[in-house]
Amino acid sequence: MPSKLVSTVPHPFDVDVHGDPVSGHAHADAASRFDALYERWFDDTCRWIRALGGAASDLEDLAQEVFLIARRKIEGFDGANEGGWLFAIARNVVRDHRRKRWFKSFFVREKESSLEHLPADGADPATLLSRAQDRRLAQKLLEKMSDKRRVCFVLFEIEGYSGEEIAVLEGVPVATVWTRLHHARKDFERLARDASEEAGR
């Protein structure tokens, strides 16, 4: 886990939501709550960001952005369902980030992956390239799914969350999670089949 957030802006716990100074006790309480929140949820937040469609290379930066926002808003947070609160912030952060990347893609073409950019983990270059291609294909298939189905699919099938945990994060009934997961699996299978047939033409 990265070290605590470091910022050059005035500390958000020095003033309340109206801009008035807060007491030393309130300051310490807010800081303590934030520290506990960061320690408990940082790793989970990275997993959520991946499920929400955030790029692997941006996970920690986006997670830090989530907690910068949480630090500013924690004074007004009632403490109920910490995971759901942070998940909602993460969803907005990823949505904004993806929108910016989408706009930027019109002007800057991202470099294609090449052998020299692949991690050297002892596998031969052909294997490394194949893995990278498989990951890119999987990512493309996931991007074609609806947001709600993709998030449910990735959290359950890849990140290992239970249906009950996903329901708490999303703020929906467990039955809704199972319905989304059912359709997401069918979507992924269909997209994978279509991609295989297209590659064989």
Query: Phi and psi of 117, rounded to 5°?
Result: -95, -5
Smallest Cα–Cα separation from 167: which of 91, 42, 83?
Answer: 83
What is the rounded average pLDDT of the residues 17-45? 74
Rounded distance between C-alpha atoms, residue 106 and residue 101, angstroms = 9
* Candidate ranges 24-28, 73-77, 88-92, 108-112; pick with highest mean pLDDT: 88-92
Q: Is 112 helix (H, G, I), strand (E, B) or coil?
A: coil
Using alpha carbons only, how large is the chain's radius of gyration in Å? 20
- Residue 56 CA to its chain's centroid (Å): 9
All domains in the chain, ordered by first residue: 8-107 (1.10.1740.10), 124-201 (1.10.10.10)
Q: Write down how long the chain is.
A: 201
In contact, 123 and 132? CB cutoff 8 Å: no
In contact, 89 and 70? CB cutoff 8 Å: yes
- For residue 158 the two structure tokens come to 């890849």
State percent of the chain over pLDDT 70: 68
Of 58-62, 83-87, 88-92, 127-131, give the lowest mean pLDDT range. 127-131
Is residue 69 scored above 90 in pLDDT? yes
Of 159-163, 164-168, 197-201, give the lowest mean pLDDT range. 197-201
